[in-house]
């Protein structure tokens, strides 16, 4: 009888412990379907950069990546398109086949990625475009950055306001083929036309987006025109470094010219500080990265950010360079 009672008590205790170890249905402590591994799965973001060799674009990528990694639950994978639109499309296809929760695209060519944007739309994958936008009708996406047309218009307007009518300037523009190149060219030409200054263009030349290419081009132009130019305008800081290198190498004085650029990189602002560069339009990378992260969190929480999210732009010249060069 005692053995039977002991066995009965042992069985009752085991059943009681088993009941205590199971959470009630619907409880906050209930393990999600699929177990702990699924509940800790990270949010996957695929980032498609136009060209990692572009310092400005690399800085944007690094800033967004740092913010995603700081969140702790985001898996950030970056792809380098290397200025090849076909390669970028292949990379997007590869990422989609592996599975992603969001894509961020800096398109090399606005047309080539449309079908991929629309494929993401059909799959319910949010699309952000950062720094480089797409035309309306390309699908559902959120653009974060500046208006490239307005950016170039602002830059050109500044040059014309600081260069007397009749003074000649050199216009260096991106090699055609990208959305950014087209928009910035249109903005510059519109500003020139609005001011009635078409005759003040000494020459218009196209350059590849590198310091070395711009320097070689400017060296050739100095061989042709000597010191008979009063200004230079180009569409990114990387090229203006080459322009100023060539002017200095020819023993000319860059501070005697009106020289304008876009991006507001630290080396460019240092050239403004030294008087060799007149102005650079600063695209606020920190603001861009912050607003990108806000858009990511909005999507993750089930919301939809605004279609266009514009960042701060500032004309940095001798009057305010100390404020931004810290």
- Quick: pLDDT tens for 164-217: 999 999 999 998 887 788 999 999 999 999 999 999 999 999 998 889 999 999
Answer positive or negative: Cα dihedral of 33, 39, 41, 43.
positive
pLDDT of residue 5: 43
Res. 54: pLDDT tops 60: yes
pTM of the model: 0.69
Q: What is the pLDDT of residues 69-95, one digit of tens each?
A: 999 999 999 999 999 999 999 999 999
Q: Which CATH superfamily is domain 148-283 in?
A: Response regulator (3.40.50.2300)
The residue to which tokens 């970028």 are assigned = 88
Residue closest to 262 by CA, chosen among 283, 291, 287, 284: 283
Q: In terms of CATH, what superfamily is 42-145+285-311? A: Response regulator (3.40.50.2300)
Q: How far is CA 9 from CA 12, 16, 20, in A?
A: 5, 11, 17
Residues of the chain with CATH 3.40.50.2300: 42-145+285-311, 148-283
Confidence of residue 40 (pLDDT cuts 50, 70, 90): low
pLDDT in tens, 122-149: 999 999 999 888 888 899 999 999 888 9
pLDDT of 223 = 98
Instruction: Please give the pLDDT value at position 304.
Output: 94
Q: Structure tokens of 209?
A: 């987006």
């Amino acid at each position: 009888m005692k053995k039977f009672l002991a066995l009965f008590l042992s069985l009752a205790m085991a059943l009681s412990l088993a009941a205590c170890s199971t959470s009630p249905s619907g409880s906050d402590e209930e393990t999600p379907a699929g177990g702990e591994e699924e509940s800790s799965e990270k949010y996957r973001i695929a980032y498609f950069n136009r060209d990692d060799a572009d310092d400005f674009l690399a800085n944007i990528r690094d800033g967004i990546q740092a913010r995603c990694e700081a969140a702790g639950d985001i898996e950030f994978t970056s792809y380098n398109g290397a200025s090849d639109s076909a390669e970028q499309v292949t990379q997007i296809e590869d990422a989609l086949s592996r599975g992603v929760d969001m894509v961020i695209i800096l398109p090399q060519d606005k047309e080539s990625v449309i079908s991929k944007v629309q494929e993401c739309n059909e799959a319910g994958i949010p699309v952000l475009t950062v720094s480089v936008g797409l035309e309306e009708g390309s699908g559902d996406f959120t653009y974060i950055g500046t208006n490239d047309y307005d950016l170039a218009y602002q830059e050109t307007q500044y040059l014309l306001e600081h260069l007397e009518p009749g003074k000649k300037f050199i216009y260096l523009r991106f090699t055609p083929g990208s959305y950014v190149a087209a928009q910035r060219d249109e903005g510059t030409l519109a500003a020139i036309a609005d001011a009635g200054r078409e005759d003040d263009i000494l020459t218009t030349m196209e350059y590849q987006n590198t310091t070395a290419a711009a320097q070689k081009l400017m060296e050739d132009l100095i061989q042709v025109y000597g010191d008979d130019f009063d200004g230079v305008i180009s569409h990114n800081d990387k090229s203006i470094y080459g322009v100023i290198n060539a002017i200095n190498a020819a023993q000319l004085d860059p501070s005697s010219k009106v020289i304008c650029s876009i991006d507001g990189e630290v080396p460019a602002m240092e050239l403004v500080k030294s008087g060799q560069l007149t102005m650079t339009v600063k695209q606020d990378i920190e603001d861009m990265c912050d607003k990108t992260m806000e858009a990511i969190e909005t999507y993750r929480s089930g919301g939809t950010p605004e279609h266009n999210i514009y960042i701060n732009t500032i004309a940095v010249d001798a009057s305010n360079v100390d404020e931004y060069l810290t």
